[in-house]
């Protein structure tokens, strides 16, 4: 997490130049893919003093976002407006006005309007979901060289967060959002983002797409939750045991050794930490696990897996070894039937039970018993 940072107004990028000096009107877009599925499409137009765009998402429902921003010569945002639509019906409208060190957010849904004032240092930029248009606004101020720290304000957020953009070797750029794993991007010398890997989703710059047409085409084909939450339960010799987890899908990708690297700690699912809850003491792989709640992590490997039982429940992406209760080996095997989604099972068996993890063509399992 980023603790200290400068504002965009400080011009931390080497060679920073006023946005108004960076050329004529330009229209471009981004295509977001998770495996074989297109999840988001964005089109934006950048002109001196103005940035506007239209965006469609299919997650969890197909929603169209139209937005515009008035931009000062130094690249700071003066006013931002956004309208969300689904099936042609307006869901909500939002206007954010930046003045001095604060932002006034006016949100309207139906007949209800709420107004909130948020502390926002000068130079704060917008952080729209699945959008890179404002990231480019920041990068182009510095002609794509050096490093930059900025404040970000997501529409609807109660506080700003921070991000850093750091030039790596060649055309590589590391985008570090507060509290999230880094995004790796390719950026040209003028600060245009050409490609990115955003937490497993690939983002590609494309010629200006017809987003309204795509929104109509996607209207009846939303993707739903990308990794739906599920809970499996079992009674093992009177002990009530449950595992709560999210179920990511393969979506045409190589899972183990690809999406999930070998020999690295994996959160064993998506979103929040996979959690085991038991109301009685258990023995898992020969190790006593007292009644309570535990995060389950794994280390997949080509020959054998390791199960990590941790006290750090709800930690999301953040693994910390000091919270480990135990590390125990899992039995892994290849199974013939393809599992499109990660599936965790608890199966009572022979006075005890088996905890298993199945995805792609791999099954990893371990014995569970009541102490």
Give the Cα separation of 11 and 255 in Å (integer).
41
Asked whether the predicted pLDDT for residue 368 surpasses 90, the reply is yes
Asked whether the predicted pLDDT for residue 150 surpasses 50, the reply is yes
pTM for the whole structure: 0.80
The three-state secondary structure class of 322 is helix
Average pLDDT, the chain: 89
| pLDDT-above-90 percentage for the chain | 78
Q: Residue 73 is encoded by which pair of tokens?
A: 């010569």
Rounded to the nearest 5°, which phi and psi values hold at 315? -85, -5
Q: What angle do CA 235, 324, 176 make, to 5 degrees?
A: 115
Give the Cα separation of 176 and 255 in Å (integer).
25
Q: How many residues does the chain have?
A: 371
Give the model confidence (pLDDT) of 194-236 as tens digits: 999 987 899 999 999 999 999 999 998 999 999 999 999 999 9
b (16+ CB within 10 A) / e for 328-351: bebebeeeeeebeebebebeeeee
Residue 320 Cα distances to 244, 295, 309, 330, angstroms: 20, 11, 11, 20
Asked whether the predicted pLDDT for residue 132 surpasses 60, the reply is yes
């Amino acid at each position: 997490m980023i603790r200290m940072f400068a504002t965009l107004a400080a011009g931390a990028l080497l060679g920073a130049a006023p946005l108004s000096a960076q050329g004529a009107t330009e229209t471009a877009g981004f295509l977001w893919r998770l495996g074989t599925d297109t999840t988001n499409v964005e089109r934006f137009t950048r002109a001196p003093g103005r940035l506007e765009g239209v965006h469609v998402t299919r997650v969890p429902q197909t929603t169209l976002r139209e937005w515009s921003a008035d931009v000062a010569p130094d690249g700071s945002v003066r006013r931002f407006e956004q309208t969300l639509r689904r099936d042609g019906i307006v869901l909500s409208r939002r206007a954010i006005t930046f003045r001095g060190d604060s932002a006034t957010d006016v949100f309207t849904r139906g007949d209800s309007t709420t107004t909130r004032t948020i502390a926002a240092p000068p130079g704060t930029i917008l952080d729209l979901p699945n959008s890179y248009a404002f990231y480019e606004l920041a990068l182009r101020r510095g002609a794509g060289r050096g490093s930059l720290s900025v404040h970000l304000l997501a529409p609807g957020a109660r506080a700003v967060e921070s991000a850093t953009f750091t030039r790596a070797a060649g055309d590589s750029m590391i985008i570090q959002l507060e509290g999230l794993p880094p995004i790796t991007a390719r950026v040209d010398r003028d600060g245009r983002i050409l490609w990115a890997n955003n937490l497993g989703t690939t983002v590609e710059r494309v010629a200006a797409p017809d987003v309204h047409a795509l929104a109509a085409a996607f209207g009846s084909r939303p993707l739903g939750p990308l990794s739906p939450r599920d809970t499996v339960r079992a009674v093992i010799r009177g002990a009530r045991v449950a595992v709560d987890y999210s179920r990511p899908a393969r979506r045409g990708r190589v899972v183990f050794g690809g999406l999930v690297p070998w020999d690295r700690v994996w959160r064993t699912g998506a979103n929040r930490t996979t959690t085991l809850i038991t109301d009685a003491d258990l023995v898992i792989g020969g190790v006593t696990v007292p009644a309570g709640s535990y995060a389950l992590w794994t280390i997949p490997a080509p020959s054998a897996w390791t199960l990590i039982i941790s006290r750090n429940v709800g930690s999301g992406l953040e693994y910390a070894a000091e919270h480990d209760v135990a590390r125990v080996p899992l039995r892994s095997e290849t199974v013939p039937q393809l599992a499109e989604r990660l599936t965790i099972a608890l199966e009572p068996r022979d006075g005890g039970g088996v905890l298993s993890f199945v995805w792609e063509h791999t099954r990893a399992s371990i014995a569970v018993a009541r102490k």
